[in-house]
Amino acid sequence: MKPEPFAITDANEAVANVAYRLSENIAIYPITPSTPMAELSDEWSVAGKKNLWGDIPTVVQMQSEGGAAGALHGALTGGTLATTFTASQGLLLMIPNMYKIAGELTPFVMHVTARSLATHALSIFGDHSDVMACRGTGFALLASNNAQEAADLAAIAHAATLESRVPFLHFFDGFRTSHEINTYQPLDNDLLGELVDEKLVSAFHRRGLSPDAPSVRGTAQNPDVFFQAREAANPYFDAAPGIVDDVMERFGKLTGRRYRLFDYYGAPDAKRVIVVMGSAADTACLAAEKLNAAGAKTGVLVVRLFRPFSLTHFLDALPKTVEKIAVLDRTKEPGAIGEPLYLDLCAALLQAAQSGQMKDRKPLTLVGGRYGLGSKEFTPAMVKAVYDHLIDDKPAHGFTVGINDDITHRSLTVDEDFRVRLPDTFAAVFYGLGSDGTVGANKNTIKIIGEGTDNCAQAYFVYDSKKSGAMTVSHLRFGPRPINAPYLVQEARFIGIHQWSFIGKYDMLGFAAEGATVLLNAPFGPDKVWSKFPREVQEVILAKKIKLYTIDAYPVAREAGMGGRINTIMQTCFFAISGVLEREEAIEKIKKAIEKTYARKGRAVVEKNFAAVDASVANLHEVVIPAKADGEPAPAALPATAPDFVQRVTAVMLAGEGDKLPVSAFPVDGTWPTATSRWEKRNIATEVPLWDPDLCIQCGKCAFVCPHATIRLKSYDEAALAGAPEGFRSTEYKDRNAPAGTRFTIQVAPEDCTGCGLCVTFCPAKDKANPRRKAINMEPQEPVLERERANWNFFEELPLPDRPSLGLSIKETQLREPLFEFSGACAGCGETPYIKLLTQLFGDRLIIGNATGCSSIYGGNLPTTPYCTDANGRGPAWSNSLFEDNAEFALGLRLAADKKRGIARRLVKVLKPKLGDGFVREILGAGQGDELSILAQRERVEALKRKLRDVDAPEAKRLAALADFLVEKSVWAIGGDGWAYDIGFGGLDHVLASGRNVNILVLDTEVYSNTGGQSSKSTPLGAVAKFAAGGKATPKKDLGLIAMGYGDVYVASVSMGASEKQVIEALSEAESYEGPSLVIAYSHCIAHGYNLNFGLSQQKLAVDSGHWPLYRHDPRKAVDGAPALQLDSRAPKARLRQYAENEIRYRLLMETQPARSKELLDRAQERAEDRRTMYEAKAQAKG
Amino acid sequence: MNLQTSYLGLDLPHPFIVGASPLGSTVDRVRAAEDAGAAALVFHSLFEEQIEHHESGLHAHVEAYAESFAEASGYFSSAVDYHYGPEEYLEHLAQCRKAVDMPLIASLNGTTPGGWTHYARQIAETGVDALELNLYYQPRTDEEYGALIEANFIEVVGKIREAVSLPLAVKLSPFFTSLPHFVRRLELDGAAGVVLFNRFYQPDIDLESLQLKPSLHLSDSSELLLRLRWLAMLHGRYELSIACTGGIHTRDDALKAVMAGADALQLVSCLLQKGLGQIEELRREVAFWLEEQEYESLSQARGSMSYLHAPNPEALERANYLRILQSWEA
């Protein structure tokens, strides 16, 4: 039955709520999916929430997880209760300190949302590879499987660590458990007080390092004693499992929930048993229960305490009847004879046999397999496949389940029709866009049903990888009993499709059960909808006997003053037709929920939502379903011209069917083709910019600022216009140097544009008679789509201007082809225009090392890749190593390019007799300072390759492979401020000091954008960010000044909205400088909290107010006695406050704590003025 | 000289009150106004747009990004209570109420009967003595007719009246087809006073950027004449009190406004130009003049030059224009 009292949150909140109350110091650093635990702790601390003992835990954000681990080690050594939250790469960074903490027998619990480690690719999703990398540290590894267990085992871990002195790593599955909302019983302070022994806390406090009772730790030990001393702690590890079991027993008495180190579920006389850890255990139990009901003898052994491993407890839990065991590991250790859990079980059973404990058992067959890597779904059908596998006489070891491995044939066949029906459970699936509020509405629905009725609620949300126009899929279940089904809804009785554009693109009805009710937001009346469906959709509707309702929600939303937010409307319709609650009761509850949710946002919002609720039902219609399908077949997703890989692989992923791709579809080493984003055609803009040639002054600014490279310009010979589609716009090219008859066009890619409108806002050309109209104007996409698609296709075929003829004006940089296009960045992104410009300037010889963060996500998050190639097949080569090491990684890329060039030059010299003196002199001595000379060198390299074909020498073959490196490569490290100012600063500093020709572009949004706006050392004084909820009280680090201190580093501070020209000059100078360069680029961001349409004017205000000075520090200038530093912005003409007032990150503090905000902004003003004075002096000083 | 007056049921020692302006924007300024002898103070307005735009802007540009990306459920702390506009204003009122004893009048500016009217209740809770409702609406289409706009205004007043029992003054623009009738309706609907007249931000044009730019110039005495006409027309017809705002800069301006029928005189531009000392200066000069002219009190002069009492009321009628024109022809 539903627990009482109950809470409905995700496991992150359930765990943080326990960990916070049992800690005194908390050191944090954001990393997905653990970030919410750190955020909650910080918020609670700022709000003054107390721990169990009445103190407010201190929460300190560090520069990296390595830093957090160090701080924790100190806080623990000092004798205070401490905790942290992390995952994946962050956990890896903590490992060195984990060895220390465990080696020193320090009570400590860290809570880990188990997440994949980056290998062939990064994955933010869940598996146990991070946790398993900590097996050797000496930490106890304790696994929980759902929100209830996560809260419970968190408390048990905190209690057991104090008693055992063994530190604990408590983990639960990233996303599947950490982010799944579920109904559970929270633990109150009385319970925690009963569980945690006060005397042990005091003992721990007393053991802390203190000059009043001094001791020394961290000694260096020599061969005479290290070994023995290392073994001295054995009794503690031996005792730990017993202590955990004792605590579990006490906990069981207090709550009725008795956990064991190994819990067995299933037939008491099971023959086939699955051993598993984490959320998959719940799925396995559901499947075993169904199989056993049909007469099978199966069971599930759930491992909770993996380390220290207790053989006794394991054997006690394992039924004596077992004949075959499959051990499921959610990790992969390539080259190992088995994965970690399997190996431990092998050793356990061998030891048991050797000690005679297996005598009364049958001979056992033990195999191991892998499942669920990177949050791959794990369903009851997969569990059955594993049990079926055990029926074999000799089941193969090393299998996989959940994928189709058509290369090494290790995967098990899964009977997809095997489903577990959850009795009395109502399941629903909702498809929405991130921006339409679907997820928020569903969270609200969970509250209404989960809190307002006797039902339990479960919800899991799936997001796609895009930051703009992202699709969200919400999986909701409701029922009278706790719902521990940690896999997606398989048969939904209700499907909500909140966007018409999804129809035909994705299989929207795949989750629909027979007779399901489907609610569709469609821009057509109920009588027209059927005819608009592709035939395939009609057929499914008929086959599944679907009851279809439709509403045109956007006009209803607009009418109610809700703009584009259709969430309340769709939610009301769900309640009106799903039958999950009585309609009237539901509407009343929705209104109450609205009142509660929005009361603090103001009455206006509440009333608008009320109006939306009232209008919803009136506009909801049931669709009469005809007897047969008569629609047109869905058009092909991609044109036939798309490359083979895109057709075979990318297209399948784009359709949301990536799970079906077999192993053979994929590159073996994570190397992925570029230039695939152009096939995606997302069509997410409701309005697109259209060009008016008559008004245009041909400045190129629109293309310059376009974040997605969807506005482009070309100048071309008028002859190229032959065959232009009707309505293709072209005008005379206004350039003195252009030959007569040169034409000019600005064209939008209508299906790739996100509709952000930055281009229109930035356009300086206005119609004199009607200044509202500019040379580029937003117009509804749908009516112009067909025409503009044809225009775009024609535009793409127009010849490109000759690159060497192009200068560095704004317009001429934009006449260069961008080699970074249609990324998944936010609409209006402030970072991507810089990257796009970089590719326009040096794209065909660009090597990018990209720090993890927004730029690695929109730069390399599949399904598609935005970096692309020119007509010669050249383009940026891009790789993401890690978050913390990007400067070093780029340095390595530089070393590689230099080495290859060095070898090539040496070989050219070796082959001089064959190549000819003159040619060798030319190719080795060629300058490559501009496009023309680079082109000349490319031609020489081609000539060299031709010559080498005729040279019969081993050196010739080697040289042929390296010859391209005789053309200079441009190596850039790109990343955000989280990397450059914080986690990667040490490496960045080292690279700056190295003298090597590495260029560093910092896309400075002044917060950790990708993980949701946490404070970095770049966050300005007085701005509110997560982890700085009370406003940042310390000034922004002056990274440029630090770099200038080296003297030989090129440094520039740029802002596209303030001076495009200066950005171009800075990037060009940085590239041409034969040493380290640092370009810090102001990047507006959604985390600043304003309409990004004004991003560029706000950038300008940042400069005009002195917040963001523009400068270039070029050591080459200092050689002639001139100052190296040149200030490119004038003395501030606006107050900092004018800039700050426009952004919610500042306003939050102005309005919640005006006095503090004033004080911080006054300090920021003073600092900006001081810095200006200092820079002015520096700009006048002799270099 | 007895300068006492009653405005919105508040007994004031003299008619000079500080009008809605930056002069009420900080606690220190409000204290200074009291120290300078102001009879009362009207706060700057809380705008309907301020309330609604903050709320919808917050929605559009902050919350629209929430719940749409796996790595970030949002970009601002969910625990921070977002205070936008209204709360800050309410807090300010409450602080000022604690700091001074003079009557304080809050000001709301809006035209549509939307959710914002609920803020009136919260304003009342801050302890202010009265509320000034600033009604101004710019019609934008040719479908909006005068009666509709007036009906909307009346509905807004009704909503505010429902929400609070504070004395309510309605600040009007001069652009009504029949101001006397509209004021009657306001009175019937519970208004305790009217304020004549609103002064507006006027859009100017930036010739370089081809953008409209709002501008507001300080008033001068020439603006008083329009107010004198309507004070005189309205005086004596209603129970509600009437304040004059706009164009009072000198002793004579003040006397004329009172004689036309004003119960209270709101000062802004003259205080911004010459400082708060002007309150005392005007009070003293008016008292001196009344004494010199042997008036018994200021009340004796109030309305003496209104339509009801002026010796030549026809000067307030349309005939006024004709006679002047004819006199020029003659």
Structure confidence by residue, pLDDT tens digits, A670-728: 999 999 999 999 999 989 999 999 999 999 999 999 999 999 999 999 999 999 999 99
Cross-chain residue pair A563–B119, CB shorter than 8 Å: no
Q: How far apart are CA A393 and CA A585, in angstroms?
A: 58
> Quick one: average pLDDT of A337-366?
96
Q: Please check whether residues A709 and A578 belong to one and the same domain.
A: no
What helix, strand, coil percent values describe chain B, rounded to 5? 45, 20, 40
pLDDT in the model for residue B295: 94
Provide, as residue numbers in chain A, all residues whose Cβ is less than 8 Å from the Cβ of B123. Answer: none
Opening angle at CA A545, ends A492 and A622, nearest 5: 90
Worst-scoring range by mean pLDDT, A120-124, A406-410, A444-448, A940-944? A444-448
Please give the share of chain A, as a percent, with pLDDT higher than 70. Answer: 99
Global pTM value: 0.91
The Cα–Cα gap between B330 and B325 comes to 9
Same domain, A355 and A279: yes
Task: Identify the active-site residue in A51, A106, A113, A115.
Answer: A115
- Inter-chain touch B80–A1148, beta carbons under 8 Å: yes
Nearest chain B CA: its distance from A1030 CA (Å): 9
User: Which tokens sit at B262?
Assistant: 């004003």
User: Mean pLDDT over residues A95-106, rounded?
Assistant: 98
- Alpha-carbon distance of A594 to A603, in angstroms, equals 10
Instruction: Reply yes or no on whether the pLDDT at A456 is more than 90.
Output: yes
ipTM of the complex: 0.88
Max Cα distance, chain A (Å): 98
| Res B328: pLDDT | 47
A963 touches chain B (CB under 8 A): no
Half-sphere exposure of A1103 (CA within 13 A, CB side): 25
Nearest to B72 among A561, A601, A1012 (CB): A1012
Q: Are strands A970-976 and A999-1004 parallel, antiparallel or unpaired?
A: parallel
Q: Which of A12, A473, A1147, A1156 to mutate: most B Cβ within 10 Å?
A: A1147
- B-contacting residues in A 393-452 (Cβ below 8 Å): 433-435, 437-440, 443
Are the CB atoms for B131 and B124 separated by under 8 Å?
yes
Q: Among A792, A785, A805, which residue's Cα sits nearest to residue A733?
A: A805
The reply to whether A230 falls in a domain is yes
Among A561, A607, A1012, whose Cβ lies nearest the Cβ of B71? A1012
Q: What is the pLDDT of residue A593?
A: 85
Q: Is the pLDDT of residue B324 over 60?
A: no
- Examine the pLDDT at B177 and tell me if it is beyond 80: yes
Closest CA to A382 of A368, A406, A401, A369: A401
- Using the predicted structure, report yes or no on whether residue A1140 has a pLDDT greater than 60: yes
Q: Is the pLDDT of residue A1183 over 60?
A: no
**Residue range of the domain that includes A478:** 426-622
Could you report the per-residue pLDDT of A853-903, keeping only the tens digit for each?
Answer: 999 999 999 999 999 999 999 999 999 999 999 999 999 999 999 999 999
Supply A607's token pair: 């009333």
HEC assignment per residue over A581-622: CCHHHHHHHHHHHHHHHHHHHCHHHHHHHHHHHHHHHHCCEE
Rg (CA), chain A: 32
pLDDT for the residue B90: 87
Same-domain pairing of A444 and A379: no
Q: Are residues A460 and A598 in the same domain?
A: yes
* Residues of chain B neighbouring A1151 (CB-CB closer than 8 A): 82-85, 87-88
Are A167 and A303 found together in one domain?
A: no
Q: Which of B25, B53, B62, B76 to mutate to test the interface with A (most CBs of A within 10 A)?
A: B76
Across the interface, of B62, B71, B114, the residue whose CB is closest to A1011 is: B71
| 8 A C-beta contact, residue A1110 and residue A1124 | no
- Catalytic residue at A817? no
How many Å from the N-terminal Cα to the C-terminal Cα in chain A? Answer: 77
Cβ contact (<8 Å) for B68 and A433? yes
For residues A564 and A554, give the distance between their C-alpha atoms in angstroms, rounded to a whole number. Answer: 6
Q: Cα(A1069)–Cα(A1074) distance, rounded to whole angstroms?
A: 10
Whether A10 and chain B come into contact, CB under 8 Å, resolves to: no
**Residue B210, pLDDT score:** 86
| % of chain B beyond a pLDDT of 70 | 88
Task: Name every chain B residue with its beta carbon within 8 A of the beta carbon of A565.
Answer: 59, 64
Q: Please name the residue ranges forming H helices in A620-684.
A: 644-645, 651-654
For residue B316, name the pLDDT band (cuts at 50, 70, 90): confident
What is the C-alpha to C-alpha distance for residues A481 and A3, in angstroms, rounded to an integer?
A: 9
What CATH number should be reported for the domain holding residue A610?
3.40.920.10
Question: How sure is the predictor about B74, in pLDDT bands with cuts at 50, 70 and 90?
Answer: confident
Minimal C-alpha gap between B25 and chain A (Å): 13
Q: Which residues pair with A8 in a beta bridge?
A: A183
A103 and A164 co-located in one domain:
yes
Please indicate, yes or no, if residue A865 is contained in any of the structural domains: no
Q: Which amino acid is at A7?
A: A
Residue A895, domain member (yes or no): no
The predicted structure's pLDDT at residue B83: 47
pLDDT over 90 at B291, yes or no: yes
Could you give the CA distance from residue A572 to residue A578 in angstroms, rounded to a whole number?
A: 10
pLDDT of residue B49: 67
Beta-bridged to residue A1003, according to DSSP, are: A976, A1081
User: Is A772 at the interface with chain B, CB within 8 A?
Assistant: no
Residues with Cβ within 8 Å of A93's Cβ and at least 6 positions away in sequence, in order, are: A64, A65, A66, A69, A884
Q: What's the pLDDT at B88?
A: 76
Do A142 and A13 have their domain in common?
A: yes
Q: Where are the alpha helices (DSSP H) in A798-849?
A: 810-814, 832-842
**Residue B330: per-residue pLDDT:** 39
Question: Is there a catalytic annotation at residue A289?
Answer: no
| Domains of chain B: residue spans and CATH | 5-329 (3.20.20.70)
Query: Could you count the other beta carbons within 10 Å of the beta carbon of residue B201?
Result: 11
- Active site annotation includes A901: no
CA distance B30 to chain A (A): 18
**CA-based Rg of chain B, rounded to a whole angstrom?**
22
Q: Is residue A786 part of a domain?
A: yes
Phi/psi of residue B215, nearest 5 degrees: -140, 155
Q: Return all residues near A319 (Cβ < 8 A) that are at least 6 apart.
A: A264, A267, A268, A269, A270, A273, A299
Q: Are residues A288 and A187 in the same domain?
A: no
Reply yes or no on whether the pLDDT at A1151 is more than 80. Answer: no
Residue A906 located in a structural domain: no
Q: Given an 8 Å threshold on Cβ–Cβ distance, is B62 in contact with A1089?
A: yes
Which residue, of A595, A622, A649, is where some domain finishes?
A622
The catalytically annotated residue of A567, A683, A1005, A1010 is A1010
Among A13, A24, A39, A65, which one carries the catalytic annotation?
A65
Mean pLDDT of chain A: 95
A545 Rama class: left (phi>0) / alpha (psi -120 to 50) / beta: left
Burial class (CB in 10 A: 0-12, 13-18, 19+), A421: exposed
Contacts of A33 in chain B (CB under 8 A): 71
Contacts of B68 in chain A (CB under 8 A): 433-435, 439, 463, 467, 470, 472
Phi, psi (degrees; rounded to nearest 5) at A887: -65, -40
Look at chain A and count its residues. Answer: 1183
**What is the number of helices (H) and of strands (E) in chain B?**
12, 12
Q: How many CB pairs under 8 A join A and B?
A: 146
pLDDT, residue A598, reads 74
CATH code of the domain in which A1019 resides: 3.40.50.970
* The predicted structure's pLDDT at residue B80: 53
Do A322 and A383 belong together in one domain?
Answer: yes
Tens digits of per-residue pLDDT, A1014-1040? 999 999 999 999 999 889 999 999 999
Q: Domain with A697 in it: what CATH number?
A: 3.30.70.20
In this complex, which of B74, B79, B84 lies closest to A1029 when CB atoms are compared? B79
Contact A563 B65 (CB under 8 A): no
Among the options A12, A25, A32, A283, which is catalytic? Answer: A32
- Triad A181, A185, A190: Cα angle to 5°: 135
Q: Which of B47, B61, B67, B88 to mutate to test the interface with A (most CBs of A within 10 A)?
A: B67
Residue A393 lies in a domain: yes
**CA-to-CA distance for B282 and B264, rounded, in angstroms?**
13
Has residue A78 been placed in a domain? yes
Q: Mean pLDDT in chain B?
A: 87
**Domain termination residue (choose one: A816, A838, A856):** A816
Q: Are residues A698 and A565 in the same domain?
A: no
The nearest alpha carbon in chain B to A31 belongs to: B71
Query: pLDDT for A157-181, tens place per residue?
Result: 999 999 999 999 999 999 999 999 9
Min Cα–Cα distance to chain A from B98, Å: 18
Give the chain A residue nearest B64 (alpha carbons).
A435
Which range, of A49-63, A824-838, B48-62, averages the lowest pLDDT? Answer: B48-62
Q: Measured between CB atoms, does A1089 come within 8 Å of chain B?
A: yes
- Residue of chain A minimizing CA distance to B62: A1089
Which residue in chain B is spatially nearest to A770 when comparing CA positions?
B210
Least confident of A216-225, A362-371, A980-989, B22-31: B22-31
Shortest Cα distance, chain B CAs vs residue A683, angstroms: 18
Contacts of B227 (CB under 8 A, 6+ apart): B196, B197, B244, B245, B246, B247, B257, B260
Q: Which tens digits make up the pLDDT trace of B230-248?
A: 999 999 999 999 999 999 9
Tens digit of pLDDT for each residue in A317-338? Answer: 999 999 999 999 999 999 999 9
Residue B54 pLDDT: 65
Q: Is A91 exposed, middle or buried (0-12, 13-18, 19+ CB in 10 A)?
A: buried
Measured distance CA(A283)–CA(A270) in Å, rounded: 17
Say yes or no to pLDDT of B120 above 90: no
Task: Measure A39 CA to nearest chain B CA, in Å.
Answer: 8
The domain boundary, picked from A254, A276, A297, lies at: A254
Residue B182 phi, psi (nearest 5): -65, -40
> Is the dihedral angle over the CA atoms A516, A521, A527, A533 positive or is it negative?
negative
pLDDT tens string A1090-1130: 989 999 999 999 999 999 999 999 999 997 788 999 999 99
Question: Is A438 considered catalytic here?
Answer: no
Q: Which residues of B touch A434 (CB under 8 A)?
A: 65, 67-69
Q: What is the pLDDT of residue B318?
A: 63
Burial letters A624-649, b for 16+ CB under 10 A, else e: eeeeebebeeeeebbeeebeeebbeb
Give me the residue from A433, A461, A601 closest to B58, CB to CB: A601
Q: Are A101 and A44 in contact (CB under 8 A)?
A: no
Contact yes or no for A604 and B56 at CB 8 A: yes
Indicate whether B323 pLDDT > 70.
no
Pairing of strands A846-850, A970-976: parallel
C-alpha dihedral sign at A222, A225, A231, A232: negative
Q: Which residues contact B217 (CB under 8 A, 6 or more apart)?
A: none
B135 pLDDT above the threshold of 70: yes
Tens-digit pLDDT profile for residues A358-394: 999 999 999 999 999 999 999 999 999 999 999 999 9
Query: Nearest C-alpha of chain B: how many angstroms from A508?
Result: 19
Tell me the residue ranges of DSSP E strands in chain B: 5-7, 10-12, 16-18, 41-47, 104-109, 130-134, 168-172, 193-196, 202-206, 211-215, 241-245, 264-267
- The Cα A140–Cα A244 span in angstroms is 10
- pLDDT tens figures, A1041-1093: 999 999 999 999 999 999 999 999 999 999 999 999 999 999 999 999 998 99
Structure confidence at residue A467 (pLDDT) = 86
- pLDDT at residue B178 above 50? yes
> To probe the interface with A, which of B69, B117, B123, B207 has the most A CB atoms within 10 Å?
B69
For A1026, the closest of B58, B65, B77 (CB atoms) is: B77
Query: Does residue B79 register a pLDDT over 60?
Result: no
Q: In terms of C-beta density within 10 A (0-12 exposed, 13-18 middle, 19 or more buried), how is residue A735 classed? A: middle
Within a 10 A sphere around the Cβ of B132, how many other Cβ atoms? 27
Residue A216 lies in a domain: no
β-sheet bridge partners, residue B193: B169, B241
Same domain, A172 and A279: no
Query: What's the CA dihedral at B240, B244, B250, B253 to 10 degrees?
Result: -80
Q: Return the structure tokens found at A592.
A: 């109450």
By C-alpha distance, which of A737, A734, A714 is closest to A816? A714
Span B24-37, pLDDT tens digits: 988 999 999 999 99
For residue A312, the domain's CATH number is 3.40.50.920
Q: Domain count of chain A?
A: 5
Asked if residue A273 and residue A362 are part of one domain, the reply reads: yes
pLDDT over threshold 70, residue B320:
no
Residue to substitute from A601, A762, A1014, interface B, most B β-carbons within 10 A:
A601
| Nearest chain A CA: its distance from B115 CA (Å) | 5
Q: What is the mean pLDDT of residues A730-748?
A: 95
Per-residue pLDDT band at A564 (split at 50, 70, 90) = confident
Residue A815: closest CA among A833, A792, A789, A841? A841
The alpha-carbon gap from B85 to the nearest alpha carbon of chain A, in Å, equals 8
Residue A874 to residues A239, A293, A1049, A1131, Cα–Cα distance (Å): 62, 61, 29, 43
The token duo for A529 is 């909808």
Q: Give pLDDT, residue A602.
A: 66
Measured CA to CA, the distance from residue B248 to residue B245 in angstroms comes to 7
